[in-house]
């Protein structure tokens, strides 16, 4: 009705040929357009049959009304825009059997803006008065978690023993913030996010009624961006109808919502599967220049790969909700990528998302992620296992280092016995290593790791030494913070004693860190950082002698006053 009146008014306005600036006229038209009823209000459910995506709750409430078993306190909790307030209003009208004038029986309070004790006292005074029409007075308190402590205390008194003619319906998006004393007095209904197919079905119905054209996939983009909220999807729909002039194309919807369409992700996965790094970087350059958000892009790519994995594992019946055409496309593309590669790709993207805020060059960070996705084979080769022959010399070196006569036995690795490098046992051991390396190719893991991974492993090692009571070596570990340079752990020590102690202990450190990071190419370099110009500490007598050398008058002064140190 409002929309029709506006159109007639504009028509008369134009016919009178009133002179007006074009910019002001455009703003005037826009205000008239948005003053019409929004879809969220126009398509708000009027009965339980119109509630979308909450079948279990609707069935429970209908049975309660049918059996005249209405609880006096209900708590509707769940995400925003899924029908909590609408369901509360419908329940209030239904239990009173009122089609109009229900405002005399249903009272709404927004606790987010009316959260004080005064408003609650006013509400509690009204509770005592019986309804003029119908059977119940229904009080809907929205965002009840916003009430102040005093308001909740006052509300609890009436909630314990409410009058028979009163039904309280509390709604919140933050169930975890509700006091247990309130939860225990309410019948709790957990509303869930609405699935994409239900939202698409509603939007397509509205498009037919309002004669809005739309391309296949455009409504799905709106549904996915709404994240299960009907209200959000309808708000986006209204904005997009105006933006596209009632023609929802995929290109304009993606541009307005700052999301990428399915075609872009399919094209990107084809380039990744084809190891076409220049093509990938060129495509990302187009995406970047169009202003798409990096995090939305990565999350969308991760979801896309997840869908491919779901179809690859033939689990689409339960885990996906795409239309037939899109499902066929996912099935076809999933044949070209192995499930192991898809899992690794999702892991790489998740790691990139975790580290996104830590890096300065965001674009380079995303490009590196995409290049990793296209280089899975190379990464796997890099992570492949190294041969024992490559660490043979390192093992022999360790055997010689263990036999350090100046090292304190307290700091030696307890698992390794003291073996002389010239003993029979040592020679036999080295001989067995040589024979094993010639006959058997034992391979050890060589996984990639980040600097953060190394820091975590180092802290774990320090905690282990603390737990074992090795306080001496623990103090050395904390004193000599290590550096990681190209798979080499560099530990600088400040004196020869620390150097010998740390060197005798490095085998245990290397074993632990290699196992923790699953990388056995790591080596340890203990270095000695000695200052060339050390400060000489003088006693009082030496200081006096130095002063006397520079100033002879001091000598006479000391003799005259008979001064002594």
> Do both 485 and 396 map to the same domain?
yes
438 contacts 540 by C-beta, under 8 angstroms? no
The reply to whether 386 falls in a domain is no
pLDDT band at 111 (very low <50, low <70, confident <90, very high): confident
> pLDDT per residue over 322-352, tens digit each?
656 778 888 888 888 888 889 999 999 999 9
Task: Give the dihedral of Cα atoms 174, 177, 178, 181; nearest 10 deg.
Answer: 160
> Do both 151 and 204 map to the same domain?
no
> pLDDT per residue over 369-393, tens digit each?
999 999 887 555 555 444 444 444 5
> Do both 502 and 564 map to the same domain?
no
The reply to whether 43 falls in a domain is no
> pLDDT per residue over 398-409, tens digit each?
544 544 444 444
Q: What is the mean pLDDT of the chain?
A: 77
Dihedral pair phi/psi, residue 124, rounded to 5°: -70, -30
The reply to whether 110 falls in a domain is yes
> Do both 459 and 527 map to the same domain?
yes
67-99: b or e for each residue (b if 16 or more CB lie within 10 Å)? eeebebbbbbbbeebbbbbbbbbbbbbbbbebe
Half-sphere exposure of 71 (CA within 13 A, CB side): 20
The reply to whether 286 falls in a domain is yes
End-of-domain residue from the set 211, 241, 257: 257
pLDDT > 50? residue 493: yes
Nearest residue to 172 (alpha-carbon basis) of 74, 59, 264: 74
311 contacts 185 by C-beta, under 8 angstroms? no
The reply to whether 429 falls in a domain is yes
> Do both 404 and 506 map to the same domain?
yes
> pLDDT per residue over 257-312, tens digit each?
877 888 889 999 999 998 899 999 999 999 888 888 889 899 989 989 998 888 88
Here the CATH number for the domain that contains residue 230 is: 1.10.8.60
477 contacts 461 by C-beta, under 8 angstroms? yes
The reply to whether 309 falls in a domain is yes
> Do both 209 and 323 map to the same domain?
no
The reply to whether 126 falls in a domain is yes
> pLDDT per residue over 232-262, tens digit each?
999 999 999 998 888 998 888 887 887 788 8
Distance CA 398, CA 407 (A): 14
From 126-135, 341-350, 398-407, 503-512, the region with the lowest mean pLDDT: 398-407
Nearest residue to 530 (alpha-carbon basis) of 494, 489, 554: 494
Domain that holds residue 186: 48-190
> Do both 120 and 23 map to the same domain?
no
> Do both 30 and 107 map to the same domain?
no
> Do both 424 and 315 map to the same domain?
no
Question: Considering its fold, how many domains does the chain have in total?
Answer: 6
Helices (H), 275-423: 277-289, 294-312, 316-319, 324-334, 339-355, 362-373, 376-382, 392-402
203 contacts 237 by C-beta, under 8 angstroms? yes
Phi-psi region of 81 (alpha: psi -120 to 50; beta: other; left: phi over 0): left
> Do both 410 and 523 map to the same domain?
yes
Q: Which two tokens stand for residue 271?
A: 């380039």
> Do both 71 and 172 map to the same domain?
yes
pLDDT of residue 387: 45
The reply to whether 452 falls in a domain is yes
Bridge pairing between strands 106-110 and 73-77 = unpaired
Q: What is the mean pLDDT of residues 106-128?
A: 78
> Do both 541 and 511 map to the same domain?
no
């Amino acid at each position: 009705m409002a929309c029709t009146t506006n159109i007639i008014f504009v028509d008369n306005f134009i016919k009178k040929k009133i002179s007006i600036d074009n910019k002001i006229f455009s703003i005037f038209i826009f205000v008239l357009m948005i003053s019409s009823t929004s879809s969220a209000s126009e398509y708000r459910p009027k009965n339980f049959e119109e509630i979308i995506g909450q079948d279990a709750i609707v069935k429970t409430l209908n049975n309660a009304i049918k059996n005249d078993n209405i609880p006096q306190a209900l708590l509707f909790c769940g995400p925003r825009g899924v029908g909590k307030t609408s369901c509360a209003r419908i329940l209030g009208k239904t239990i009173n059997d009122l089609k109009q004038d229900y405002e005399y029986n249903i009272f709404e309070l927004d606790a987010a803006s009316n959260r004080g004790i005064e408003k609650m006292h006013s509400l509690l005074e009204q509770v005592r008065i019986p309804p003029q029409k119908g059977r119940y007075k229904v009080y809907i308190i929205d965002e009840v978690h916003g009430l102040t402590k005093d308001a909740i205390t006052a509300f609890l008194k009436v909630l314990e023993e409410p009058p028979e003619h009163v039904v309280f319906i509390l709604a919140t998006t933050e169930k975890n913030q509700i006091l247990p004393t309130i939860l225990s007095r309410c019948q709790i209904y957990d509303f869930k996010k609405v699935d994409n197919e239900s939202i698409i079905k509603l939007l397509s119905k509205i498009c037919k009624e309002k004669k809005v054209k739309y391309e296949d996939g455009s409504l799905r983009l709106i549904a996915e961006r709404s994240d299960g909220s009907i209200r959000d999807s309808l708000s986006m729909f209204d904005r997009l109808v105006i933006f596209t002039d009632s023609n929802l194309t995929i290109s304009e919807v993606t541009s307005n919502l700052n999301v990428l369409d399915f075609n872009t992700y399919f094209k990107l996965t084809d380039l990744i599967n084809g190891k076409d790094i220049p093509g990938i970087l060129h495509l990302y350059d187009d995406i970047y220049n169009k202003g798409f958000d990096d995090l939305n892009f990565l999350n969308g790519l991760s979801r896309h790969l997840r869908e491919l994995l779901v179809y690859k594992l033939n689990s689409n019946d339960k885990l996906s909700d795409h239309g037939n055409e899109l499902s066929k496309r996912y099935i076809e593309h999933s044949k070209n990528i192995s499930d192991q590669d898809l899992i690794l790709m999702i892991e790489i993207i998740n790691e990139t998302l975790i580290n996104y805020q830590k890096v300065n060059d965001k674009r380079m960070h995303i490009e590196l992620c995409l290049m990793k996705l296209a280089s899975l084979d190379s990464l796997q080769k890099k992570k492949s296992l190294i041969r024992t022959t490559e660490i043979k010399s390192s093992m022999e070196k360790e055997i010689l280092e263990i036999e350090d006569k100046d090292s304190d036995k307290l700091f030696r690795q307890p698992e390794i016995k003291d073996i002389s490098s010239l003993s029979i046992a040592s020679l036999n051991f080295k001989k067995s290593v040589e024979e094993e390396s010639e006959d058997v190719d034992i391979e050890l893991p060589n996984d990639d790791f980040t600097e953060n991974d190394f820091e975590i492993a180092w802290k774990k090692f320090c905690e282990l030494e603390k737990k074992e009571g090795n306080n001496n070596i623990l103090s050395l570990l904390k004193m000599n913070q290590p550096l990681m340079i190209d798979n080499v752990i560099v530990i600088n020590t400040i004196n020869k004693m620390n150097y010998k102690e740390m060197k005798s202990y490095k085998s245990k450190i290397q074993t632990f860190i290699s196992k923790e990071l699953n990388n056995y190419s790591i080596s340890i370099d203990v270095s000695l950082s000695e200052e060339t110009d050390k400060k000489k500490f003088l006693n009082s007598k030496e200081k006096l002698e130095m002063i006397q050398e520079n100033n002879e008058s001091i000598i006479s002064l000391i003799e005259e006053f008979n001064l002594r140190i």
